[in-house]
Chains A and B, each alone.
Chain A
Amino acid sequence: MIALALREFHQFQAAGRQFLYLVPSAAVFELDAAAEAVVRLLREVARPEDAVVEALADTFPPPALKVAISELRDVRAIGYQHQPDPEGPKFLPMMPFPLSTMVLNVTNQCNLACTYCYEYGEDKIVDTEHGKQSKFMSEATARESVEFLLRESAQIAHMTFFGGETLLNFPVLKSTVAYARQRAAEVGKTVDFSLTTNATLLQPEIIDFLADNEIGVTISMDGPRELQNKFRVLHNGAGSYDIVAPKIKALLRRHRSRPIGARVTLTSETLDVTRIYRHLTEEFGFWEVGFAPVTTSPNQTYAISDGGFDRMLEQFRELAYEFQQHVADNRHHGFSNIKDTLEEIHKGVSKAYPCGAGLGLLGVSTDGDVAVCHRFAGSEAHQLGTVRDGIDRAAQQDFLEHHHINDKTDCHTCWARPICAGGCYHEAHVRYGTTRRPNLHYCEWIRGWTDTCLQVYGELSVRNPAFLARFDRDEAKAEAAL
């Protein structure tokens, strides 16, 4: 007899029920008792169908077991041992792929000197001080970038202003928004704007401009005073908390046209997720708070090590369960990391690439060079054309060819790959010197976090399915807008 064996999946429990997250399809199924018993039995050892039915015949009627086995086979949760599933084909995206987000580095200069910054610290890729790139983007380059975006985008285009400190080049930002609005109207497209800032330069007239123009704002901030002041310092080493706090409060009071989020960089020395979250939501009133571990080579003292990742996971979990409770009660919770992952789980995203970089998202340097993403803006090795000459399709093709999940052998045995796909290119570049390698230093953390998100997803699928259905509606709305 031909033995049945388990295929690739991750099993998890939520709301007292059993679920499977199938890999690589990224489908989530809830199992009934019979199906769960079959999976449990096959986990011990592969065995033929008859043996499975016989072993479980005391608990479940054989016809029901046979149906359960056939259903599990249909969805490829189990299969014949001698007949493994073929490896997924390597499909490259259809070209030309529409550009959905352009990140415009309007300056590579900054009025802060955050010690962990990837743009200025020891791990920097581009020399922004003595390099060939201009320190500020000119109005002409910004306009060429707008034309580039409108040429390459579908109906809706997102434009994100970035730096350096974005607001150091506010005049160009301001005129570019007006220009992009006008040009988008002429070609019948819509442009949506957002920016990231350290908040030091938020003046009332700038805040008015951002609010009136419905520009999405993300504030880079690390939390309470002593955490913020640890790394986010001025050039003279003084902390920035007292400078930014009143300005952020003014922004949150005035800017009501878009939800405003905070983006926190976590380091080994500021690893206090729940406290930071409380401070930023309760003290300031941020609508959402997102966390990201600092990108750095492992030899920096502030790099998060294995133990640090465990601690971070513990705290992320605490917030995730809090999020779950809020959502189950139909209340808002601003922990944005989990919301993004829940959406991906809900849609069943199975990624060939970790993010949209080099595909739907491109970074533009101050001189108008197009790069894989904003973190590589200005780097010749990661250039994918210029805003004047357009996307270098051959370079883009080459990039996509060499960063596909099929080429990341280490990932092929990992159940979290549909969501992770190897992780951030920039992180890999800083750690391993190449964007092509998966980020093996945080695999355990990714699996732990994905497992948590799956549990929350399973729980919400039982307790508040309407919340998850909202992801479908959001997408339908976006499609209708097209």
Chain B
Amino acid sequence: MTHLKAVNRKATRVIESVQGDVVGLQQPPVQPHIPLGCSLAFSPGWEADSTGGTAGLCQPVERDIFDCHLGCFWPAHVPDQLNHAPSCTAKCAAAQKDWRKLDLVFPG
């Protein structure tokens, strides 16, 4: 910022929040929340979603677990939850937080 000077603490935080280091989806106007970018294809600029976080991307592994196999054409490698491993996600209530708790599933 060259023409505005942050005076109080909130102003400093406002500047921090608008000066994102990643462009891509952060460019205004704010985009709707759609997962873009994928862990299988490295595409610079899509490392962060429109809010500056990663939750809106396919990129993080927790996103792959559910989005790719439910909402995407990509045949992600998840267990067959209908027949073979119906409870593999039972301990994973919130994927972003609990993805480490996913059960290992072995072919039976």
> Chain A interface (Cβ within 8 Å of chain B)?
19, 22, 25-32, 34-35, 64, 67-68, 71-72, 74-75, 77, 83, 345-348, 350, 457-458, 461, 472
Contacts and interface: CB of A to CB of B under 8 A. Distances in A.
Contacts of B7: 19, 28-30, 457-458, 461
A64 B11 CA distance: 21
A35 B10 contact: no
Interface residues of B, number: 17
A30 B7 CA distance: 7
A72 B29 CA distance: 15
Contact of B9 (A30, A34, A68, A347): A347
Nearest to A76: B14
Residue of A27, A72, A74, A77 with most partner-chain B CB within 10 A: A27
A30 B10 contact: no
B41 interface: no
B4 interface: yes
A22 B6 CA distance: 11
Contact of B3 (A64, A348, A350): A64
A1 to B, nearest CB: 16
A346 B8 CA distance: 5
B18 A34 contact: no
A29 B4 contact: yes
Contacts of A19: 7
Interface string B1-40: 1111111111101110011000000000100000000000
Contact of B18 (A30, A68, A74): A74
A129 to B, nearest CB: 47
A445 B105 CA distance: 67
A28 B18 contact: no
Contacts of B8: 26-28, 345-348, 457, 461
B1 A71 contact: yes
A72 B13 contact: no
B10 A25 contact: yes
A472 B4 CA distance: 22
Contacts of A74: 15, 18-19
A350 B10 contact: yes
B22 to A, nearest CB: 15
A75 B4 contact: yes
B10 A68 contact: no
Contacts of B19: 74
Lowest 10 A-B CB distances belong to which pairs?
Answer: A348-B10, A27-B11, A68-B3, A35-B3, A74-B18, A30-B5, A28-B8, A28-B7, A27-B10, A29-B4
A28 B19 CA distance: 17
A71 B9 contact: no
A257 B83 CA distance: 72
B2 A348 contact: no
B10 A34 contact: no
A31 B3 contact: yes
Residue of A19, A35, A75 with most partner-chain B CB within 10 A: A75
A27 B2 CA distance: 16
B4 A72 contact: yes
A25 B5 contact: no
B1 to A, nearest CB: 5
A402 B93 CA distance: 31
Nearest to A69: B3
Contacts of A28: 6-8, 10-11
B25 to A, nearest CB: 16
A30 B5 CA distance: 5
Contact of B6 (A27, A67, A472): A27
A29 B9 contact: no
Contacts of B4: 29-32, 35, 68, 71-72, 75, 77
A22 B15 CA distance: 13
B14 A27 contact: yes
Contacts of A34: 3
Contacts of A30: 4-5, 7
Interface string B67-105: 000000000000000000000000000000000000000
B15 A75 contact: yes
Given A67-B3, A71-B3, A83-B29, A348 B18 contact: no
